[in-house]
Amino acid sequence: MRLVVALLIAGLSLGAPAQEQAETREFAGQVGSRAAFLVLHSRRASDGSWQLAGEYLLLGTLARRFLDGEASPEIGVTTLREGTTPILFGRSPTAELRGSLRPGSFRGTRYGPGGQQQERFEFSEEFPAMADYTATVRCEASGGGYASSLAYRVEAGKLKSLDWRAKVEPSGHSCNFTAAEQQPFKGGLRFVAGRCNVTLRDLGDYVRASAESCNEQCGSQAYFEPLLIDKRGNCRLMRPESR
């Protein structure tokens, strides 16, 4: 996820005028019959078009697919090339998503590399409420020189404690977050300490933990990689091998 954001900034912001807008949107939904989670990073150009990059995760198999393309407000069509690596430039896409990207939703059809229609997809920015969520989690995940440990206790949607730590090698830089308060948040739970916030979202078989604006809690080369927490309280990095 971090690599996709970096590629978007590097590839789309060169020479961008000051009035351009950027945003990140998260969606839950289906690709065919398969449950999926989608993140789209977008930049609005001065001509009104949106340049897009992102990825979706098929939650049943945890297969990861990367996307880039554009949305045209004039014709109301969004076209995204799909691939199995973050860098799609110069590579043949494995599929293409064509549909309508609107406030709150993204829906349309997924086509194969030869243009054949494969399956419908539908995503919504509406996530399940977690007012009744109760869990005690203590887990660790690591990979590629990155290690993370997360511990939290939530009772009926109310935070009791949360501690998240991460470390990156070989720099040895680390992140440390201890939640100070809980904020009202639709479609999940959000905990904050200073500018840093940690969000939990219900994805069905998993709960996703992600962090934003945590520079003050991290060394210059450290970061919080999103985690997927299963119903047994085990966690894994949200960047498995694509397949």
pLDDT of residue 72: 80
pLDDT of residue 209: 97
Confidence of residue 48 (pLDDT cuts 50, 70, 90): confident
- The arrangement of secondary structure in 2-124, i.e. its CATH architecture, is Beta Barrel (2.40)
Could you give the CA distance from residue 152 to residue 232 in angstroms, rounded to a whole number?
14
Helix (H), strand (E) at residue 7: helix 2-12
This prediction's pTM: 0.85
72: left (phi over 0), alpha (psi -120 to 50) or beta: beta
Beta strands (DSSP E) in 10-62 are 21-31, 34-44, 50-58
What ranges do the domains of the chain cover? 2-124, 135-237
Specify the higher pLDDT residue, 147 or 6: 147
